[in-house]
Structure 1
Amino acid sequence: MKMILMSAALAGSIIWGSSAVQVNGIQSHSISEMAPLFDEEHAYETIHELSEVIGPRETGTEKEKEAASYISKRIQDEGLAVRFQPFHVKTYYSGSVMAGDHEYPIRSADKSAVENEERVEGEVLDGGYGLNLDEKEAKGKIAVLREGKISVSQKLKNAQAAGAKAVIIYNSKTKPLAIRPVKPKHIKVPAAGMKKEDGEALLKEKQAVIQFKNYRNRTSQNIIGTRKAQHTKHPDILYVTAHYDTVKDAPGADDNASGTSAVLEMIEQSKHLPKNKEIRFIFFGAEELWSAGSSYYVSTLTSDEIKHSRANFNADMIATDWKDASQMYITTPDGKKNASVNYAVNAAQRAQLKAPRLTQLGYSDHVSFYEAGIPSANWIWLSPDTQEPGPWYHTEKDNIAHISKERLNEAGQLLLSAVQEANMD
């Protein structure tokens, strides 16, 4: 759900929520000598190769495999051994809602709630934010809920307890909402997400039919390059990650050749860092299918690996040129600071870089690490007013023409500095 060698960085303020704290002593616009430099021109070339030469990289397609081979070669060229981790995506859920004369697409149904292709018909209930659903009103109906105020998981729990037949949650923004409960095993009611205008239109209808669809038996792969630590048998572990797949027909320049390019650049720069910690550079397949790649990878970690995991840095959509996406965000699933966020804050101060803003975002591959108890954060450019990523998100217009080298540089430099900060801790 993201460069000529950088010779200057913007000094700025560290911002949490709506408050800002000025970084003391930041006067110079030059990067601290201890901060490695991010090569945005080389990263831009990577984005071009993935989005324009290879093109759309939908899970399970030959183009996704071609991208995996390209990434693997790049890792090997930097002297790291590569491990492919194939995994099987049994089902992926999508579908639509029919109401009156209109058909509305839904983002994706949560796989724990819809095991088969399923048709759900019922009366539409305006459930508000899902705070207090009455069983007398909700039982047997399709509860249409607004995003916000409480978590998606709590909305689904409330609707389930009230006996709703299915749940549609529509976003407060124009993009479709991804429905991904933090603890999906506790949710059994069929659920799907919808974009704002579709949800508002659906509330004007009395009856609706939801057709859940699934796509079966797709195979994808994660690509893993590991820089080993020295002088320790049980090193602390850092994870620097991005997904390389796309939705159907989208070139995926920003989502997420941009993040992929940044992680590849960090592999090159990692040779200059002391080998204090083990750094795992991971490129996930099937992020667009409910973060299936990262979910599978994290499920294979041993308890000892999780114990020694210090932070996950995930780059997803870090180079859009959409003018309204003027704020670089670090996002966490709960909206709270953690070790990964703190490394970014310290890096911004130390390297005199413009600091990001912290906000809550419950989709992308950082969620898989969060659910395993590993401090994680996602890096993304969003509009500070709407927190939207841009009008070409998940469309054929997500191409190289809409990539900003300046934003790629700013995000990549800070991400690189944060990883360095964590490695030195």
Structure 2
Amino acid sequence: MSRTPLRIGAAVVAAAAAAVAFTPPVLAGPNACDTRVNNTHAKLLECITLDGVMEHQQALQDIADANNGTRVSGSPGYDESVEYVVERLEKAGYTPEVQEFTFQTFISLSPPVLERVSPPPAGSVSTSILSYSGSGDVTAAVTALPAPPADATPGCEASDFATFSAGNIALISRGSCTFAIKATNAYNAGASAVIIYNNAPGVINGTLGNDFTLDIPVLAVTQADGAALASTAGLTMRVQTDTFRGQATTSNVIAQTSGNTDNVVVAGAHLDSVNAGPGINDNGSGSSSLLEVAEQMAKVKPVNAVRFAWWGAEEASLVGSTYYVNSLTAEEKEQIALYLNFDMVGSPNYVFFVYDGDDSDAIGAGPGPAGSAEIEKTFEAFYSQRGIPFKGTDFSGRSDYGPFIAAGIPSGGLFTGAEGIKTAEEESIWGGTAGIAYDPCYHQACDDIDNLSSKALDVNSDAIGFAVLQYAMSTVDVNGKPGKGNFPPAQPTDKPRPSTSLQSGHADGHELEVE
């Protein structure tokens, strides 16, 4: 989008129409939200509360606490998360479906170990494990491969290992090809383990992909630590990993409202965490917000059926949403009007990102399917009305909109940032701290109940409700099918273009590309 959002003013109100105004209704009593039909934006958004979202967040935290600190798909923690969502949906009056599927899972059974043995000083080096790493306990000499600018594609060609000594540990810079390609080339050259260091500040939270089956440990370190290790002559290190890779059964949860089933609005969020932590921002934030919206819309009788979905195994390369889309017939895909995705909507060092449906940023991937630009404008209208700045983010393919876009379904959604680094310009607009990640606990054990911005979560839970109800009542702007006349398309005001833009794609556990 490459546009600077305007703060609210008369032009915004004029463009938005009365149906999307935020004048709160007068409640009949303290429990009015439990009994009334929230069939206008004003009613619905009054009943979607931060307390309601945080009730779900705390439940997910409690589940993780009781299950070794994780809610990863294939684990008891995930299964209990599914049970919680199902129970809340049933209590609200839905008849949820639990859609089971099998997938290749990865679990780190114990924390990885990376130790400098010699030369002094000996000691531990901070590290993270790449998902689908093999197991092993190796102490060996380290061979550092040339990094840019000496080699623009380090470890990406077999020839990079022409002089590599079999049995050594390979130390490779990130960049230009997938982690799996680097690890495979190292394995074929006889490496006993692989250490990949970042090519930018921050930690690496990535994956080798669920088709990586080589029995070799693969760890990651920061750019600074990697550079220090690469410059150390005669380096010997210890690498230890203890992992499980195998088939597991997990599930999606799907619940649908009444309404036109030939023009379905799908709204989804992944429910699983990574192995390393409870996943309260990634993606308890999206899952809990969506559950709060579903509960508050339970009595609404929309024009178009709304299909709420909580995806499993997103962190294993979008398995749940891909399974769901692939299970649909051609006719069933045609019946889906659009898809809305909510993945990480409460990052502590947030920016309000909207997926760039029209590719006006001209960064990374192209536009979404026809209709995606209109979804983007709906979210822009919400933020504009509240005087909240927002920014575009690329459809990088790293979240559950991916299989819907591949099927030609118009898509959009919200995001508040992952491991990307906040700029000084962004700090000046949204506050927070420049020079650190939008979510400093991304894919880590500290992604817990304290790893949230209550402001971002409060705003975005309303934004989710706004868009879901808007399209539940009318998709005329997306596909020309008319709906209720008091739900005209929500249009943002014109906005000047800023001097910079950002590709801030969610580099989830399914991150394979590493440039």
Q: Which amino acid aligns with 1:125?
A: L
**Pairing 1:128-277 to 2, within 5 Å after superposition:** 128=148, 136-137=159-160, 144-147=172-175, 168=196, 170=198, 172-179=200-207, 195-201=222-228, 203-204=230-231, 213-230=243-260, 235-248=262-275, 250-271=277-298, 275-277=302-304
Q: Which amino acid aligns with 2:381?
A: Q
Structure 2 CA distance, aligned partners of 1:207 and 1:290? 34
Q: 2:21 aligns with which of 10, 32, 47?
A: 32
SS in 1 for 2:340: strand
1:20 — aligned with what?
4
Structure 1 CA distance, aligned partners of 2:199 and 2:464? 29
The structure whose Rg is larger is: 2
Count of residues in correspondence between the two structures: 393
Judged with a 3 Å threshold, the aligned counterparts in structure 2 of structure 1 residues 407 and 104 are, in CA distance, closer, same or farther, namely closer
Range with bigger deviation, 220-229 or 341-350: 341-350
Give yes or no for contact 1:138–1:164 (8 Å, CA) kept in 2: no
Give yes or no for contact 1:170–1:176 (8 Å, CA) kept in 2: yes
**Pairing 1:7-156 to 2, within 5 Å after superposition:** 16-17=1-2, 19-20=3-4, 22=6, 25-26=11-12, 32-33=21-22, 35=41, 36-37=44-45, 38-52=48-62, 55=65, 56=69, 57-92=71-106, 101=117, 105-109=127-131, 123-128=143-148, 136-137=159-160, 144-147=172-175
Structure 1 CA distance, aligned partners of 2:126 and 2:311? 30
Structure 1 CA distance, aligned partners of 2:338 and 2:436? 24
Displacement, 1:69?
1.2
Structure 1 CA distance, aligned partners of 2:74 and 2:186? 38
Structure 1 CA distance, aligned partners of 2:244 and 2:55? 35
Structure 2 CA distance, aligned partners of 1:63 and 1:83? 19
| 1:220-269 alpha-carbon deviations (Å, 9 max, x no partner) | 22111122433x6xx13332112222234633332222211111122134
Judged with a 3 Å threshold, the aligned counterparts in structure 2 of structure 1 residues 225 and 172 are, in CA distance, closer, same or farther, namely farther
Give yes or no for contact 1:51–1:399 (8 Å, CA) kept in 2: yes
Structure 2 CA distance, aligned partners of 1:140 and 1:297? 47
Structure 2 CA distance, aligned partners of 1:185 and 1:86? 20
Displacement, 1:124?
3.2
Structure 1 CA distance, aligned partners of 2:335 and 2:240? 44
Q: Which amino acid aligns with 1:237?
A: V
Give yes or no for contact 1:143–1:159 (8 Å, CA) kept in 2: no
SS in 2 for 1:254: coil
Displacement, 1:71?
0.5
Q: Which amino acid aligns with 1:175?
A: V
Judged with a 3 Å threshold, the aligned counterparts in structure 2 of structure 1 residues 397 and 90 are, in CA distance, closer, same or farther, namely closer
TM-score normalised by L of structure 2:
0.62
2:378 — aligned with what?
346
Identity %, equivalent residues: 21
Displacement, 1:343?
1.2
Q: Does 1:359 align with 2:426?
A: no
How large is the Cα RMSD of the aligned pairs? 4.4
Structure 1 stretches lacking a partner, 5+ long: 1-15
1:384 — aligned with what?
422
Structure 2 CA distance, aligned partners of 1:220 and 1:177? 23
| 1:184-212 alpha-carbon deviations (Å, 9 max, x no partner) | 999x9x98865544544454467889878
| 1:92-132 alpha-carbon deviations (Å, 9 max, x no partner) | 276969685466645435x6xx8x76899984323439855
Q: Does 1:330 align with 2:357?
A: no
Judged with a 3 Å threshold, the aligned counterparts in structure 2 of structure 1 residues 222 and 159 are, in CA distance, closer, same or farther, namely closer
SS in 2 for 1:126: coil
| 1:271-319 alpha-carbon deviations (Å, 9 max, x no partner) | 5766343322111223333333233323322233334434332222222
Give yes or no for contact 2:257–2:301 (8 Å, CA) kept in 1: no
Structure 2 CA distance, aligned partners of 1:140 and 1:340? 50
Range with bigger deviation, 398-407 or 220-229: 398-407
Structure 2 CA distance, aligned partners of 1:103 and 1:201? 11
Judged with a 3 Å threshold, the aligned counterparts in structure 2 of structure 1 residues 214 and 265 are, in CA distance, closer, same or farther, namely same
Displacement, 1:392?
2.8
Q: Which amino acid aligns with 1:365?
A: D
Structure 2 CA distance, aligned partners of 1:178 and 1:83? 31
Q: 1:298 aligns with which of 301, 325, 328?
A: 325
| 1:138-173 alpha-carbon deviations (Å, 9 max, x no partner) | 5586583445xx6x56x9779989998589473634
Structure 2 stretches lacking a partner, 5+ long: 23-39, 118-123, 165-169, 357-362, 424-434, 476-515
Give yes or no for contact 2:277–2:447 (8 Å, CA) kept in 1: yes
Structure 1 CA distance, aligned partners of 2:236 and 2:334? 50
Give yes or no for contact 2:354–2:380 (8 Å, CA) kept in 1: no
